[in-house]
Chains A and B, each alone.
Chain A
Amino acid sequence: MSIKDNVYYKTFLKEPWPYAVGAVLLGLLNISMLISTGDAWGVTSHFATWAAWIYQSIGGQPEAWLYFQEKGNAAELANGFLKDMQSLSDIGVIFGALLATLLASQFRVKKIKSWKQVAGAIIGGLLMGYGARLSFGCNIGTLFSGVASMSLHGWVYWVFIFIGAWIGGKILLRYLI
Protein backbone atom coordinates (compact mmCIF):
# COMPACT_ATOMS: atom_id res chain seq x y z
CA MET A 1 0.00 0.00 0.00
CA SER A 2 1.44 3.36 -0.92
CA ILE A 3 1.44 6.31 1.38
CA LYS A 4 -1.20 8.00 -0.72
CA ASP A 5 -3.81 5.54 0.49
CA ASN A 6 -2.85 5.82 4.13
CA VAL A 7 -5.75 7.14 6.14
CA TYR A 8 -3.58 9.37 8.37
CA TYR A 9 -1.81 10.83 5.38
CA LYS A 10 -5.17 11.73 3.91
CA THR A 11 -6.50 13.22 7.12
CA PHE A 12 -3.49 15.30 8.04
CA LEU A 13 -1.73 16.13 4.81
CA LYS A 14 -4.15 15.67 1.92
CA GLU A 15 -7.70 16.60 2.88
CA PRO A 16 -8.32 20.21 3.89
CA TRP A 17 -8.56 20.59 7.64
CA PRO A 18 -11.83 21.93 9.00
CA TYR A 19 -11.76 25.71 9.37
CA ALA A 20 -12.21 25.49 13.14
CA VAL A 21 -9.02 23.42 13.48
CA GLY A 22 -7.08 26.04 11.54
CA ALA A 23 -8.69 28.78 13.63
CA VAL A 24 -7.68 27.30 16.99
CA LEU A 25 -4.15 26.50 15.77
CA LEU A 26 -3.68 30.02 14.41
CA GLY A 27 -4.94 31.44 17.72
CA LEU A 28 -2.42 29.35 19.65
CA LEU A 29 0.30 30.29 17.17
CA ASN A 30 -0.36 33.99 17.67
CA ILE A 31 -0.18 33.53 21.44
CA SER A 32 3.16 31.71 21.07
CA MET A 33 4.42 34.55 18.93
CA LEU A 34 3.39 37.19 21.46
CA ILE A 35 4.88 35.34 24.40
CA SER A 36 8.12 34.19 22.77
CA THR A 37 8.98 37.38 20.90
CA GLY A 38 7.02 40.06 22.72
CA ASP A 39 5.22 41.05 19.53
CA ALA A 40 1.92 39.80 18.18
CA TRP A 41 1.81 38.36 14.67
CA GLY A 42 1.98 40.94 11.90
CA VAL A 43 2.71 40.71 8.20
CA THR A 44 2.60 43.98 6.32
CA SER A 45 4.94 46.25 8.27
CA HIS A 46 7.80 44.06 7.01
CA PHE A 47 6.73 44.72 3.44
CA ALA A 48 7.34 48.41 4.10
CA THR A 49 10.79 47.61 5.48
CA TRP A 50 11.66 45.44 2.48
CA ALA A 51 10.56 48.21 0.16
CA ALA A 52 12.62 50.72 2.12
CA TRP A 53 15.74 48.56 1.87
CA ILE A 54 15.31 48.37 -1.88
CA TYR A 55 14.61 52.10 -2.05
CA GLN A 56 17.77 52.79 -0.05
CA SER A 57 19.80 50.59 -2.36
CA ILE A 58 18.79 52.70 -5.35
CA GLY A 59 19.63 55.91 -3.54
CA GLY A 60 16.37 56.84 -1.76
CA GLN A 61 16.29 58.11 1.79
CA PRO A 62 13.23 56.61 3.44
CA GLU A 63 14.87 56.96 6.86
CA ALA A 64 13.98 60.66 6.67
CA TRP A 65 10.25 59.87 6.59
CA LEU A 66 8.29 60.14 9.79
CA TYR A 67 7.23 56.51 9.49
CA PHE A 68 10.79 55.25 9.68
CA GLN A 69 11.59 57.58 12.57
CA GLU A 70 9.17 55.75 14.82
CA LYS A 71 11.17 53.62 17.19
CA GLY A 72 10.28 50.09 16.07
CA ASN A 73 10.29 50.87 12.37
CA ALA A 74 13.59 52.71 12.57
CA ALA A 75 15.22 49.76 14.32
CA GLU A 76 13.85 47.31 11.77
CA LEU A 77 15.15 49.44 8.92
CA ALA A 78 18.60 49.85 10.46
CA ASN A 79 19.02 46.22 11.47
CA GLY A 80 19.13 44.72 8.02
CA PHE A 81 17.67 41.44 6.91
CA LEU A 82 19.27 38.86 9.18
CA LYS A 83 18.74 40.81 12.36
CA ASP A 84 15.18 41.70 11.47
CA MET A 85 13.62 38.53 12.75
CA GLN A 86 10.03 39.57 12.17
CA SER A 87 10.27 39.56 8.41
CA LEU A 88 11.53 35.98 8.49
CA SER A 89 8.05 35.02 9.62
CA ASP A 90 6.68 36.40 6.33
CA ILE A 91 9.10 34.34 4.26
CA GLY A 92 8.26 31.41 6.51
CA VAL A 93 4.59 31.73 5.52
CA ILE A 94 5.55 31.30 1.86
CA PHE A 95 7.69 28.25 2.59
CA GLY A 96 5.18 26.75 5.01
CA ALA A 97 2.46 26.96 2.36
CA LEU A 98 4.82 25.52 -0.24
CA LEU A 99 5.64 22.65 2.12
CA ALA A 100 1.98 21.91 2.78
CA THR A 101 1.20 22.01 -0.94
CA LEU A 102 4.06 19.68 -1.85
CA LEU A 103 3.26 17.17 0.90
CA ALA A 104 -0.29 17.05 -0.46
CA SER A 105 1.10 16.63 -4.00
CA GLN A 106 -0.83 19.67 -5.13
CA PHE A 107 1.85 22.07 -6.28
CA ARG A 108 1.18 23.60 -9.64
CA VAL A 109 2.25 26.86 -11.21
CA LYS A 110 -0.96 28.76 -11.75
CA LYS A 111 -0.76 30.81 -14.86
CA ILE A 112 -2.25 34.23 -15.36
CA LYS A 113 -5.45 34.04 -17.29
CA SER A 114 -6.31 37.55 -18.33
CA TRP A 115 -5.30 41.19 -18.22
CA LYS A 116 -8.18 41.87 -15.90
CA GLN A 117 -6.48 39.67 -13.32
CA VAL A 118 -3.23 41.57 -13.73
CA ALA A 119 -5.08 44.86 -13.27
CA GLY A 120 -6.75 43.50 -10.15
CA ALA A 121 -3.44 42.29 -8.78
CA ILE A 122 -1.68 45.62 -9.39
CA ILE A 123 -4.43 47.91 -8.13
CA GLY A 124 -5.37 45.57 -5.30
CA GLY A 125 -1.75 45.22 -4.22
CA LEU A 126 -1.19 48.99 -4.19
CA LEU A 127 -4.41 49.66 -2.26
CA MET A 128 -3.58 47.02 0.31
CA GLY A 129 -0.03 48.26 0.74
CA TYR A 130 -1.15 51.87 1.20
CA GLY A 131 -4.15 50.99 3.37
CA ALA A 132 -2.19 48.74 5.69
CA ARG A 133 0.22 51.54 6.57
CA LEU A 134 -2.67 53.84 7.56
CA SER A 135 -4.40 51.25 9.71
CA PHE A 136 -1.20 49.95 11.35
CA GLY A 137 -1.44 46.53 9.79
CA CYS A 138 -3.49 44.14 7.75
CA ASN A 139 -6.00 41.43 8.54
CA ILE A 140 -3.33 39.80 10.66
CA GLY A 141 -1.68 42.72 12.44
CA THR A 142 -4.79 44.81 13.00
CA LEU A 143 -7.77 42.47 12.75
CA PHE A 144 -6.43 39.24 14.23
CA SER A 145 -3.76 40.58 16.59
CA GLY A 146 -5.31 44.01 17.14
CA VAL A 147 -8.74 42.78 18.18
CA ALA A 148 -7.18 39.99 20.24
CA SER A 149 -5.13 42.69 22.01
CA MET A 150 -8.41 44.38 22.98
CA SER A 151 -7.40 47.52 21.12
CA LEU A 152 -10.10 49.83 19.82
CA HIS A 153 -8.29 50.25 16.47
CA GLY A 154 -8.78 46.54 15.78
CA TRP A 155 -12.53 46.77 16.27
CA VAL A 156 -12.89 49.93 14.17
CA TYR A 157 -10.81 48.26 11.45
CA TRP A 158 -13.10 45.21 11.50
CA VAL A 159 -16.20 47.33 10.90
CA PHE A 160 -14.72 49.34 8.05
CA ILE A 161 -12.83 46.60 6.27
CA PHE A 162 -16.16 44.85 6.01
CA ILE A 163 -17.50 47.89 4.18
CA GLY A 164 -14.36 48.01 2.02
CA ALA A 165 -14.80 44.34 1.13
CA TRP A 166 -18.41 45.05 0.14
CA ILE A 167 -17.29 47.89 -2.19
CA GLY A 168 -14.54 45.64 -3.53
CA GLY A 169 -17.12 42.96 -4.27
CA LYS A 170 -19.17 45.45 -6.30
CA ILE A 171 -16.09 46.45 -8.30
CA LEU A 172 -15.17 42.81 -8.85
CA LEU A 173 -18.61 41.92 -10.20
CA ARG A 174 -18.83 45.04 -12.33
CA TYR A 175 -15.36 45.21 -13.91
CA LEU A 176 -13.29 42.15 -13.24
CA ILE A 177 -15.42 39.14 -14.11
Chain B
Amino acid sequence: MIEQRLDCLGEACPVPLIKAKKKLSNMKSGEVLIIKVDHSCAMNNIPEWANKEGYHVNIKEVDLGLWEIYLIKTK
Protein backbone atom coordinates (compact mmCIF):
# COMPACT_ATOMS: atom_id res chain seq x y z
CA MET B 1 0.00 0.00 0.00
CA ILE B 2 1.45 3.33 -1.03
CA GLU B 3 1.30 6.00 1.64
CA GLN B 4 1.59 9.71 1.10
CA ARG B 5 2.00 12.18 3.91
CA LEU B 6 0.84 15.74 4.32
CA ASP B 7 2.02 17.87 7.20
CA CYS B 8 -0.55 20.54 8.04
CA LEU B 9 0.64 21.41 11.53
CA GLY B 10 -0.03 25.02 12.35
CA GLU B 11 -2.31 25.53 9.38
CA ALA B 12 -5.74 27.02 9.88
CA CYS B 13 -8.93 26.27 8.00
CA PRO B 14 -9.47 25.93 5.14
CA VAL B 15 -5.82 25.36 4.19
CA PRO B 16 -5.50 21.71 5.29
CA LEU B 17 -8.60 20.73 3.34
CA ILE B 18 -7.47 22.54 0.19
CA LYS B 19 -4.03 20.93 0.39
CA ALA B 20 -5.55 17.51 1.00
CA LYS B 21 -7.85 17.90 -2.00
CA LYS B 22 -4.97 18.91 -4.22
CA LYS B 23 -2.81 16.05 -3.08
CA LEU B 24 -5.58 13.48 -3.42
CA SER B 25 -6.34 14.55 -6.97
CA ASN B 26 -2.83 13.44 -7.94
CA MET B 27 -3.11 10.08 -6.24
CA LYS B 28 -4.21 6.75 -7.59
CA SER B 29 -7.06 4.63 -6.36
CA GLY B 30 -6.12 2.51 -3.36
CA GLU B 31 -3.40 4.85 -2.13
CA VAL B 32 -3.48 6.21 1.39
CA LEU B 33 -3.04 9.83 2.39
CA ILE B 34 -2.03 10.59 5.96
CA ILE B 35 -2.70 14.18 6.99
CA LYS B 36 -1.24 15.50 10.19
CA VAL B 37 -3.27 18.35 11.72
CA ASP B 38 -3.41 20.23 15.00
CA HIS B 39 -6.37 22.42 14.09
CA SER B 40 -9.50 21.17 15.79
CA CYS B 41 -11.76 22.25 12.92
CA ALA B 42 -9.71 20.41 10.31
CA MET B 43 -10.33 17.09 12.04
CA ASN B 44 -14.00 17.86 11.50
CA ASN B 45 -14.17 19.29 7.99
CA ILE B 46 -11.70 16.99 6.24
CA PRO B 47 -13.60 13.82 7.26
CA GLU B 48 -16.87 15.50 6.35
CA TRP B 49 -15.64 16.32 2.88
CA ALA B 50 -14.04 12.90 2.44
CA ASN B 51 -17.26 11.17 3.45
CA LYS B 52 -19.16 13.14 0.86
CA GLU B 53 -16.63 12.04 -1.73
CA GLY B 54 -17.01 8.46 -0.58
CA TYR B 55 -13.45 7.96 0.69
CA HIS B 56 -12.67 5.87 3.74
CA VAL B 57 -11.57 7.93 6.71
CA ASN B 58 -9.93 7.01 9.96
CA ILE B 59 -8.84 9.58 12.50
CA LYS B 60 -6.18 8.79 15.02
CA GLU B 61 -5.38 11.10 17.90
CA VAL B 62 -1.64 10.64 18.16
CA ASP B 63 -0.94 13.20 20.86
CA LEU B 64 -2.79 15.82 22.86
CA GLY B 65 -4.48 17.96 20.22
CA LEU B 66 -2.69 16.28 17.36
CA TRP B 67 -4.43 14.11 14.82
CA GLU B 68 -3.53 11.91 11.91
CA ILE B 69 -6.28 11.57 9.37
CA TYR B 70 -6.04 8.45 7.19
CA LEU B 71 -7.79 8.79 3.87
CA ILE B 72 -8.04 5.87 1.51
CA LYS B 73 -8.67 6.97 -2.03
CA THR B 74 -11.38 4.65 -3.23
CA LYS B 75 -11.82 5.85 -6.77
Contact = CB atoms under 8 A, between A and B. Distances in A.
Q: Within 8 Å by CB, do A and B touch in the complex?
A: yes
B65 A107 contact: yes
Contacts of B10: 110-113, 117
Contacts of B40: 16, 101, 106
Contacts of A107: 64-65
Contacts of B50: none
Say which size band chain A's interface belongs to.
Answer: 10 to 19
A177 interface: yes
Interface string B6-19: 00011110110011
A108 interface: yes
Nearest to A19: B44
Sort chain B's interface into a size bin. Answer: 10 to 19
Contacts of B61: 106
Interface of A is mostly: loop
A106 B19 contact: no
Contacts of A106: 40, 61, 64-65
B57 interface: no
Interface in A6-44: 16
Contacts of B15: 172, 176-177
A173 interface: yes
Interface in B28-71: 38-40, 43-44, 61, 63-66
Interface string A96-115: 00000100011110111100
Contacts of B65: 101, 105-108
Nearest to B40: A106
A106 B40 CA distance: 8
B64 A108 contact: yes
Interface of B: 9-12, 14-15, 18-19, 38-40, 43-44, 61, 63-66
9 contacts: A16-B44, A106-B40, A108-B64, A110-B9, A111-B10, A112-B10, A113-B9, A172-B14, A177-B18
